[in-house]
Structure 1
Amino acid sequence: MNKEQPAIGIVVIGRNEGERLRVCLRSVLGAGRAVVYVDSGSIDGSVALARSLGATVVALDMAVPFTAARARNAGFEALRALSHGVQFVQFVDGDCEMAAGWLHAALDFLTSPGHARYAVVCGRRRERFPEKSVYNRLCDIEWNTPIGDAKACGGDAMMRVSALATVGGFRDDLIAGEEPELCVRLRAAGWKIHRLDAEMALHDAAMLHWRQWWRRSVRGGYAFAQGSWLHGGPPERHWVQETRRALAWGLALPIAIVLAAGWVGAGAMWLLLLYPAQVLRLMRRGGGAERAFFLVAGKFAEAAGIVQFAWNRLMHRRQHIIEYK
């Protein structure tokens, strides 16, 4: 590698991604970059595929619960052992294809004068098949985050190795929301996060059914609860508002309606109109009826995830990953 060019390494994580993994690895292999693939118990030949394409493979111990955070940490450590001079690491989910030109754009930003305190840079992730389902379209909307300095990033992002090492990497015990939680600690340590106006990756959610969307939303609620439990105090108040919203619409209001019905009878059913009223309110704010409906419906699943987190805390249980594919 050219001495003037900072060393970049790639960490790809995946579990039973099949052909998506082949596309992902081919988009990042080459130019002498070290590429580490971390596999979380795949049974579809992903490990053999990654090795055949030239990636260094780390197969996680199946005796320890899988999390994306654990996989990223394992990949990061393997990358540092493999490439001692690595200065930047690009994390990629195995169901994504890296956009041509992204690595150059991200590196340019992080190495520009005046950007030494930026630890993370991310770009526009898009769904590969938004036309296949409403759930894919919802993901595509979710990925379209504001451009400029940000509070958090997603699973695909380029990070400064020194910054990531300073804060101790990801929290292995988080089943979701590990990237925003990492960014909370990075910002607390004086680092910054930036969202570039540049294409970064194509993502294949492959989410075609209600049950998949529901499980993903439950996982989101679990992440809200765990994030607010970890960093809910001032000044951060991490995901406190999201947790309260989910509990209000997905748990407190349904309970109130049932109790009111028992007290005043069927007349309390008028309270159910608060839900379509909320859908209409969200529609007026932009995004369309489809998105508004699922934002409201998702509060029930998120509330279920929050309750699940609270129950696990009470019973001193560790939550396994909540898969939706």
Structure 2
Amino acid sequence: MQVDVVLIGRNEGQRLVNALAAVQGQARRVVYVDSGSTDNSLAEAEKAGALIVNLDMTIPFTAARARNAGFQALADSDTPPELVQFIDGDCAVVDGYIAKAAAHLAADDGLGVVTGWRSEIYRDKTIYNQLCDFEWRRPAGPIDACGGDMMVRANAFEAVGGFDPTVIAAEDDEFCTRLRKAGWRLERIPQEMTRHDADMTSFGQWWQRAVRSGHGFAQVGHLHPDYFVRERRRVMLWGAILPFVALVGAFITWVIPALILGLYAVSYLRTAKGLGREGLPKSEAQRHAALLTLWKFPNLIGMARFHWRRLRRAQMRIIEYK
């Protein structure tokens, strides 16, 4: 089966050059969807022989809309796509992965999506990059959803109407949920897929990414109430309910906030221990656990932002962290 690539990006610089170079010889065609770059991205994509789609930036950007535009460019061609590998502009496909993923899809007509392992190029540059790298490394086998680096059967994509362009975060989870509900299966194969450059160097970037994740929990959960259930419950418990009880309880006795602080301490220790069991060194597990314990608070802000926008029927605009 033939594989085409849809690569989306904006001002990715050398990362885009690397991404374009990595797919040379691995795919039939490459479509680059640009969302208003002011650097040399368009020139580099043209040099690499990619079909260029300039996204209409008079409409608020979402990654979902960019991916749909790339797929549509393929669908409108004289040779419609069979399999499409979606890639973000800060990722480079590992040599040989596309052929392996395509063979896996070709062998099973019930599979709608195949993904692999993403890893960070500069994993140990910052703790935030380390967190991303750990997040990407999930077990192989049947899955409910995956990130934006995925190979999709074209007829499955068309059957569910592609990505929802109104979803600003976790649009890949939302898309995968509709695929599963339509009867398609998804799988992660035990293969290195892409090398990613998070380039997350500050606490502020990490915080904004966590806010965006919270927005995704709420928006996708609103569309699919059976999805992100545990995530939303955790955010509400640790980010809202316990702090509220501690605040109110402080007017009664200091014991109540002290007990709740103790619960956070226990949660932190359990998280650090769990990360250690999954293979992280002790010091790294402890640092990660601290951020994961704090993670619920920006998540709560993101969830509240979604519902505030929803109630006001305001435009869902993306939350950028870099």
**What TM-score do the two structures reach when normalised by structure 2?**
0.94
Q: Which of 160, 165, 168 matches 1:172?
A: 165
Within 5 Å, give how 1:90-109 maps onto structure 2.
Answer: 90-109=85-104
1:76 alignment partner in structure 2:
71
Cα distance in 1 for residues equivalent to 2:190 and 2:287:
26
Partner letter of residue 302 of structure 1? Answer: N
1:310 alignment partner in structure 2:
307
Within 5 Å, give how 1:178-257 maps onto structure 2.
Answer: 178-232=171-225, 237-257=226-246
Per-residue deviation, 1:31 = 5.9
Within 5 Å, give how 1:1-325 maps onto structure 2.
Answer: 6-30=1-25, 33-82=28-77, 84-112=79-107, 115-232=108-225, 237-264=226-253, 266-270=254-258, 271-287=260-276, 288-325=285-322
Cα distance in 2 for residues equivalent to 1:110 and 1:31:
16
Cα distance in 1 for residues equivalent to 2:298 and 2:197:
22
Per-residue deviation, 1:83 = 5.1
Per-residue deviation, 1:41 = 1.5
- Cα displacement string for residues 165-214 of structure 1 (whole angstroms, at most 9, x for unaligned residues): 00000000011111111111111111000000001000000001000000
Per-residue deviation, 1:146 = 1.4
Cα distance in 2 for residues equivalent to 1:32 and 1:70:
22
Contact 1:35 1:79 in 2 (8 A): no
Contact 2:3 2:81 in 1 (8 A): yes
Root-mean-square deviation (CA), in Å? Answer: 1.3
Stretches of structure 1 lacking an aligned partner (at least 5 in a row): 1-5
1:3 alignment partner in structure 2:
none
Per-residue deviation, 1:252 = 1.6
Cα distance in 2 for residues equivalent to 1:224 and 1:268:
30
SS in 2 for 1:281: helix
Stretches of structure 2 lacking an aligned partner (at least 5 in a row): 277-284
Contact 2:5 2:27 in 1 (8 A): no
Aligned-residue identity in percent: 45
SS in 2 for 1:286: helix
For the structure 1 residues 206 and 275, does the alpha-carbon distance in structure 2 shift closer, same or farther, using more than 3 Å as the test?
same
Cα distance in 2 for residues equivalent to 1:276 and 1:41:
45
SS in 2 for 1:145: coil
Per-residue deviation, 1:45 = 2.3
Cα distance in 2 for residues equivalent to 1:286 and 1:207:
21
Cα distance in 1 for residues equivalent to 2:90 and 2:31:
15
For the structure 1 residues 145 and 94, does the alpha-carbon distance in structure 2 shift closer, same or farther, using more than 3 Å as the test?
same
Cα distance in 1 for residues equivalent to 2:160 and 2:215:
23
2:279 alignment partner in structure 1:
none
**What TM-score do the two structures reach when normalised by structure 1?**
0.93
Cα distance in 2 for residues equivalent to 1:300 and 1:281:
18
